[in-house]
């Protein structure tokens, strides 16, 4: 590793599994000081102990939970240079069958969650010389797909929220988005554990493969370092060539 994150202090949400965990692992290997947030206390403790960083149980959909976790994170880190909002949930239903409870949960976690974290962390980010915000959205926020009305709406909102953050918080704070395609995580296990579904998904992708969490982590590293010093208010699509635009 190159130590590109040496001296940087970051909060990562959804860090107990999937893309959040891969981001935490890469950032730790690159020398970052981290505070990890997640609802899953057991998995969070395992990841935090293995990486020798602090872990704080947190439900990003609950403002009080976020406020407490961010305050504890700032105490352990001694300040903040960036954050990555990787916590998210997925639900697929035909639009005619979508219920209010599912809709509310998707918006609460995928859109209000990042808002809660940014709001709680903003004073510390503004105190840094140069800070970064990275939000994990989805290709579903860029294009319509069957059964994803609620999920797509939450991720499209997150993309636009990120762009607005870039305008409002520049020049000291940069805000960018990552839009993954199908990545092999627990969230998409229903798809990639089924060989037929996996093959169908791969056939739609130019690289004829599904993504790995590490693919998203490398994009997050780019957005969280000076490699992207002149980049803000935009998104990187990590989908192997699926959502052509």
User: Which residue is associated with the tokens 């995928």?
Assistant: 110
Catalytic residue among 151, 161, 190, 222: 151
Is residue 190 among the annotated active site residues? no
Annotated catalytic residues are 151
């Amino acid at each position: 590793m190159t130590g590109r994150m040496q001296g940087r202090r970051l909060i990562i949400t959804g860090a107990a599994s999937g893309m959040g965990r891969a981001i935490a692992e890469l950032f730790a290997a690159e020398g970052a000081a981290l505070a990890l947030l997640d609802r899953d206390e057991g998995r969070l403790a395992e990841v935090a102990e293995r990486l020798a960083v602090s872990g704080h149980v947190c439900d990003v959909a609950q403002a009080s939970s976020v406020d407490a976790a961010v305050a504890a994170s700032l105490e352990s880190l001694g300040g903040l240079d960036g954050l990555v909002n990787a916590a998210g949930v997925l639900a697929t239903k035909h639009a005619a069958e979508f219920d209010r409870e599912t809709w509310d949960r998707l918006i609460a976690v995928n859109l209000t969650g990042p808002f809660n974290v940014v709001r709680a962390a903003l004073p510390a980010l503004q105190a840094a010389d140069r800070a970064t915000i990275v939000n994990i959205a989805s290709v579903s926020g860029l294009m319509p797909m069957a059964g994803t009305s609620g999920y797509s709406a939450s991720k499209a909102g997150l993309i636009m929220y990120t762009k607005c953050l870039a305008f409002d918080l520049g020049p000291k704070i940069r805000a960018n988005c990552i839009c993954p395609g199908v990545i092999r995580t627990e969230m998409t296990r229903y798809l990639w554990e089924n060989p037929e579904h996996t093959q169908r998904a791969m056939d739609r992708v130019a690289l004829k493969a599904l993504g790995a969490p590490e693919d998203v982590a490398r994009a997050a590293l780019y957005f969280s370092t000076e490699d992207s010093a002149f980049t803000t208010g935009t998104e990187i699509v990590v989908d192997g060539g699926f959502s052509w635009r």
